[in-house]
Amino acid sequence: MKAVLYILLCVTFTSYAQDIRNLEVEAIINGIAKDNVYDSEGIGIGGKKSNQRSRYDRLRDKATIEELVAATSHQNPVVRCYAFEALVEKKDTSTCQILLHHLSDTSIVSTHMGCLLGSTSVKYFILRLYNLHSKQFQDIKGSIDSFVLSDIEQEPSNLPLEIQHQNGQDYKRETLIDLEPKPEYYQRLKTIYDKKSNIYPTLIVPIAKYNNLSDTSLILSSLKGSNEWNLNGLLASIELPHSSYLPILTKQLREEMKQSYPSHEYSRLLLLSLGNHEKPETIILFQEVLSLDDFDYKVVLYDAISNKPYFKDVLDQIDF
């Protein structure tokens, strides 16, 4: 009799605890929906964690996978976004198909990312998650690539600047850099580039992966551009090297070396591109880099040419 009573008490306690857990998760979800803003890990000048972000932490830690999956269909889009993020963090195997299923979700979400207030749609929030955790989602890379290309093709060419972020353009640019160069994409990429390169200068990077020498003039033009154009031109010049780039790359590196506070990421890309040019003048340029006796420059130069036997004499002079 005592054994039966003990079992009944255990069952009752377990059921009660489960109910409390469900009620707690429901309360967290209701709080997220009421606040109705997606907050990043830290917001504001001090990067503080908001009450909304703390709710997310509790949702991630207390909800079961089944509860999180159910929350991806919640009527509130902020709840859906936090549920996606929690599933990604937990690396649940069902997440890939759930994310693909919601790529048609155009509901708008208000966001507070760091110091920036803005908005985006749920489908572009999913694209943001994909970019942040792309190694986790290699199984759906082809579907994401196809989605991004189709989405860019369909969007207007003259979107106001304030609408561009809401339309996920930053996230689409990031996806384009790693686009798999499938044969059927090449002409589509060239057509989009002709129409929308002012919005998506990143398109030059996947175009370069096809190693079509007729595209070197486009890359050279990007290298001569400023800011984002130039950076994408550098990435493209690494994918598709050509002797016509050497003068402009040399000029840009020498200018960067004169800066009081050089950008070592920019220098790294320049050196990676220059490392494809196995010529005496490149050796002379690399000797100039070593003469700076700058540790960071030595590191990026070593990374750029460590697998290039032509530059062995330069490598032998690099000391850390």
Please report, as a single letter, which amino acid is at residue 251: K
pLDDT of residue 253: 96
**For the chain, domain boundaries:** 21-132, 135-240, 244-320
**pTM score, whole prediction:** 0.84
Residue 51 has pLDDT above 70, yes or no: yes
pLDDT tens by residue, 173-183:
999 999 999 99
Average pLDDT over residues 40-68: 92
pLDDT of residue 163: 66
Average pLDDT over residues 26-55: 93
Q: Would you place residue 218 in the very low, low, confident or very high pLDDT band (cuts 50, 70, 90)?
A: very high
